[in-house]
Structure 1
Amino acid sequence: MKAVQFGKHGGRDVIEYDEFPDPEVGPEDVLVDVKAGALNHLDVWTRKGLGATGRLDLEMPHVPGSDMAGVVDAVGDDVTRFAPGDRVALLSGVSCGTCEFCRRGEPTLCVDYHVIGEHVQGVHAEQAAVHEDQLAPVPEGVDWATAAAAPLVFQTAWRMLLERGELESGESVLVLGASGGVGHAAVQIAADAGATVYATASTEEKMQHARECGADFVVNYEDEDFADAIREQTGDRGVDVVVDHVGAATWYSSLKSLARGGRLLTCGATTGPRPETHIGRIFWNQLDVRGSTMASHGSAERALEKVWDGTFEPRIRAELPMSETARAHERLENREGFGKVVVIPDSER
């Protein structure tokens, strides 16, 4: 089969679309004919060899991709949840199921938690073999680009805001980077929860997209300091919650944007993981800093139900053949467009 792959870490030039061994299907695995995949910023970090907690040690060549959707082609002998012909999407977070955190219902805290495509072989290929527990059903009528683009970002934003962030109706939320995958999902989830939503973006086009997703007030962070703008808009109060997956470049301004007793939520750091901070502002204003990553499969499917019924809409900035995955990475790194970049096996185009 053909698969996106790289044989070493590096720049976009290491990405190839070439022959790769067909996947082996275990007794609890599902073989999926991939109809579409989607990129996340973690694909860029994985290509560079950088994981959330340090350097990655990957089997090479490595197939990236943590989002995909397709049709079940075959199932292992012990599979009970799916049958050939079913429509499915990937849930890429994998937990052990037996450690103390899994036993108490917190699989994303699992001591052996890992992500398909980041820590192990991914799914940007013509076919993928996946354990049946890592798949969610996709209803008829949902297009493949939507099904592929939704799972990782909507489950991440759902858990971050509603579970870790404990967001309540009537509160105020600032979402940084509203043009990205997690950002535009967070805007929609916060608005649906009844919050007043503030957002940041870098162009008028992206600002308009953020408004269409549900933002009540949008700041162009290229033109003004977003913390000062938020303070002005809220009568110097600040917001109850800030969603910051940008990291070093925005961290202090995120703290400055919070009201007393506010919560700063983070699930990533695209500009670097080691920001300068202000401990005095944290303790004096009694701020909470809460990390979050992915979601349990139950929470992920609850988020996806609202995608499938049209409440939430993954925005697609581009659909490209998998042979142009290097260009897809370029679009992410250069912040071109709004929403997700989808890649489709060349044989499906």
Structure 2
Amino acid sequence: MKAVVLNRETENKIELKDLTLQALGEEEVRIQIKAAALNHRDEWARQGLYPNLKDGAVFGSDGAGVVVEVGENVDKAWIGKDVVINPAMDWGNDPKAQSKAFHILGIPSNGTLAEFIQVKADRIHLKPSHMSWEEAAALPLAGLTAFRALMVQGRLQPGEKVLVTGFGGGVAQFAAQFASAHGAEVYVSSSSMEKIKSAISHGIKAGFNYRDEDWAMQAIGEVGGFDLVIDSAMGSTLDNLIQVLNPGGRLVFYGATKGNPMGFNARKVYWNQLSIIGSTMGTDEDFERMLDFVITKKITPVIDQVFELNDALEAFERMKQGLQLGKIVIRI
């Protein structure tokens, strides 16, 4: 089978290679992948910024396809079913936080950027029928991350005012869509006016350019404050996010792409009874609830661009440039 693998000996660090299918385990299913989607972790692995890297491992955490074979202990009724894959592996029994064994499908293990993949049967779910293959492939990792950040850690309620930062990436796109579908009043921030205009065209109330030094004061003047902020940057942005929170507000962050904050307004946090909460991926129950939510609300992912498997390098380069508005998908 053809697969996109890590090869740090090459100039671009990736290689399209023919691999031999492994024997199918008793609890596994073999899926013919129809489409896969990139996440930042794929590009970080290509850049050598991810732990436990090994050459020859297949990229990709997101994927959708057709079950073509099942292991001895798997219900044969799965054969021929259209499915999406839950990439959150070995969360554990505690819904509050993942176990030490938790990992994400894809590098350093073999992932979805291949013609076939084998996963345990408990990782698959029926593909939402209202989604195309490309849309379904774009959903799992980012959709799960956004859903847990909003609904579980953020405890979003209808009518609340929500700010989603860094609009343009997959998780932020889903967070904005999910919050709107749940009845919240949603705002975004971005450094790109084009992305802000796109958000507004998709029903978002307004957006703020976080490169403007006074964007926080603009937001307070226009909105009054936010009940919930969803962020993935941290770093020096933290003080502004604390500033725009209403008393009793919650700040949920699922990443720290700008690094650790140098300090923050501790007095405002305790005086205004603010909560700062971490979040990542989600439990199997979170994934099932997320799927039910997108099916009930008929939510479809925002697709930035679709590439063919032979053009995987172009897809990675687009991810590296950070110009995408929505998910980058590779058709297999």
Matched, 1:38 2:37: yes
User: Which residue of 1 is the match for residue 206 of structure 2?
Assistant: 217
User: Which residue of 1 is the match for residue 82 of structure 2?
Assistant: 87
SS in 2 for 1:242: strand
User: Which residue of 1 is the match for residue 4 of structure 2?
Assistant: 4
Q: Distance in 1 between matches of 2:38 and 2:160?
A: 31
Q: Distance in 1 between matches of 2:278 and 2:77?
A: 34
With normalisation by structure 1, the TM-score equals 0.88
Q: Distance in 1 between matches of 2:64 and 2:112?
A: 9
Q: Which runs of 5+ in 1 are unaligned?
A: none
Deviations 1:117-174 (A, max 9, x none): 1442211111100111111111445310011001111111111111111111221111
User: Which residue of 1 is the match for residue 25 of structure 2?
Assistant: 26
User: Which residue of 2 is the match for residue 264 of structure 1?
Assistant: 251
- The structure 1 residue matched to 2:101, chosen from 97, 101, 112, is 112
8 Å contact kept, 2:91–2:283: no
- The structure 2 residue matched to 1:65, chosen from 60, 63, 69, is 60
- The structure 1 residue matched to 2:226, chosen from 210, 217, 239, is 239
User: Which residue of 2 is the match for residue 328 of structure 1?
Assistant: 315
Post-superposition shift, 1:200? 1.0
Q: Distance in 2 between matches of 1:280 and 1:326?
A: 48
Amino acid at match of 2:78: A
Residue-pair matches, total:
331
8 Å contact kept, 1:37–1:344: yes
Q: What does residue range 255-294 of structure 1 map to in structure 2 within 5 Å?
A: 255-272=242-259, 274-278=260-264, 279-294=266-281
Amino acid at match of 1:290: I
Q: Distance in 1 between matches of 2:269 and 2:16?
A: 47
Q: Which runs of 5+ in 2 are unaligned?
A: none
Q: Distance in 1 between matches of 2:318 and 2:126?
A: 29
8 Å contact kept, 2:45–2:53: no
> Cα RMSD between the aligned structures?
2.2
1:82 to 1:251, Cα distance in 2 relative to 1, 3 A: farther
User: Which residue of 2 is the match for residue 174 of structure 1?
Assistant: 163
1:81 to 1:134, Cα distance in 2 relative to 1, 3 A: farther
Runs of 4+ in structure 1 off by over 6 angstroms are none
8 Å contact kept, 2:59–2:113: yes
1:224 to 1:333, Cα distance in 2 relative to 1, 3 A: farther
Deviations 1:233-286 (A, max 9, x none): 134xx21111111232522322222122221101112333x2223133333333
Q: Distance in 1 between matches of 2:191 and 2:315?
A: 20
Q: Distance in 2 between matches of 1:184 and 1:37?
A: 18
Matched, 1:78 2:73: yes
Q: Distance in 2 between matches of 1:270 and 1:311?
A: 31
8 Å contact kept, 2:64–2:83: yes
Q: Give the percent of matched residue pairs that are identical in Structure 1 and Structure 2.
A: 36
8 Å contact kept, 1:68–1:90: yes
8 Å contact kept, 2:81–2:126: yes
Amino acid at match of 2:159: G
Q: Distance in 2 between matches of 1:18 and 1:33?
A: 17
